[in-house]
Amino acid sequence: MAAERQRGLGRGLSALLGEADAADADGDWEEARSQGGPREIPVEALRRNPDQPRRTFDDAEMEELTDSIREKGVLQPILVRPAPEEEGAWQIVAGERRWRAAQRAGLARVPVLVRELNDSEVLEIAVVENVQRADLTAVEEARGYQTLIDRFGRTQEAVSRIVGKSRSHVANALRLLSLPESVLQRLDRGELSAGHARAVAAHPNADGLAEQIVRRGLNVRQAEALARREPAPAGRSRGGRPPRRVGSADTAALEADLAEIIGLSAVEIHDQGGKGELRLVYASLEQLDDLCDRLTRPR
């Protein structure tokens, strides 16, 4: 049963919904219901998931969904589980937008699918659903991955399998979390793209560069060029070291490639006439453990 559930997570939310739909299509409604098939419950009995990766809901999109639900109802059931520590309530696993829109539309009851899921599975499904539908901001996506790593012990490789993305995609997403909170807020608001954020991620004055990028309306290539030529602030760098010498475009590209291959937050190369230092920056103990495992693995 556990293996079947894990395969379902790998295929995404549609597989879970398809299991109940198939039972209903065969005409065995009671069997579908016993397996958590579609049923209707009062809208006020639902509770949002505090670990839901998605934090922002576009007003225009919500209004469109509300109008659709007002006219046609909720066509796709909301995936729920029994609410932890609250008898008679149900926690939303996937479908919070539909629940919010149903409330706006004034619906009294909504269709749901009930599943018995643990906390790790709930978060995995929530991340998978949102990533597959491109519903998360880059910061929400990265924080969802980091939660899977920190709270549930997933490796970057395991996360990449769960969400159906390459390991390099997951590593690049996690690198964004090393940015100052002010830059992450700009990214969340859509003022910066993920490409802009990656361009300034390794710079000790990422906040100042982000402000320039937004003010001047720079594209990603221009942002990368700005980060290469912008000197570090006087004093010490973000890591407590003397300001790093700004390297060539080739050095910056090599740093980015190494960070992606190794799966770390950042890599810094300090070269002085052919001798120097390679600095590896990790964002969590999981990343450090993964690096140690790679370096000590028998060849």
Encode pLDDT of 120-150 as tens digits.
Answer: 888 778 777 767 665 678 888 888 888 888 8
CA 41/CA 88 separation, integer angstroms: 11
Q: Per-domain residue ranges for the chain?
A: 2-117, 180-235
Question: For residue 92, what pLDDT is reported?
Answer: 92
Question: For residue 234, what pLDDT is reported?
Answer: 53
- What pLDDT, in 10s, does the model give residues 243-254? 444 455 567 767
Quote the tokens at residue 277.
């230092």
Check: CB of residue 291 under 8 Å from CB of residue 280: yes
**Of the listed ranges 55-64, 86-95, 114-123, the one predicted with least confidence:** 55-64
In this prediction, residues 223-231 reach a mean pLDDT of 81
Please pick, among 30, 96, 230, 277, the residue that the annotation labels catalytic: 96
Check if CATH label 3.30.1490.100 holds for domain 2-117: no
Torsion, CA 70, CA 72, CA 75, CA 81, rounded to 10: 30
**Of the listed ranges 57-66, 107-116, 119-128, 287-296, the one predicted with least confidence:** 287-296
Q: Is residue 236 pLDDT above 80, yes or no?
A: no
CA 34/CA 54 separation, integer angstroms: 30
CA 136/CA 189 separation, integer angstroms: 12
- The overall average pLDDT reported for the chain is 76
Residues in the chain: 299
Residue 121: active-site member? no
Residue 159 CB burial class (10 angstroms; 0-12, 13-18, ≥19): buried
Question: For residue 232, what pLDDT is reported?
Answer: 61
Q: Is residue 268 pLDDT above 50, yes or no?
A: yes
Amino acid residing at 166: S
- Sign of the alpha-carbon torsion through 286, 136, 131, 34: positive
pTM over the 0.85 mark? no
Check: CB of residue 168 under 8 Å from CB of residue 156: no
Q: What's the CATH number of domain 180-235, 3.90.1010.10, 1.10.10.2830, 1.20.200.10, 3.40.630.30?
A: 1.10.10.2830
DSSP 283: S
In this prediction, residues 277-282 reach a mean pLDDT of 80
In this prediction, residues 185-194 reach a mean pLDDT of 89
- What pLDDT, in 10s, does the model give residues 67-91? 999 999 998 899 899 998 788 899 9
Question: For residue 107, what pLDDT is reported?
Answer: 94
Check: CB of residue 113 under 8 Å from CB of residue 16: yes
CA 223/CA 217 separation, integer angstroms: 9
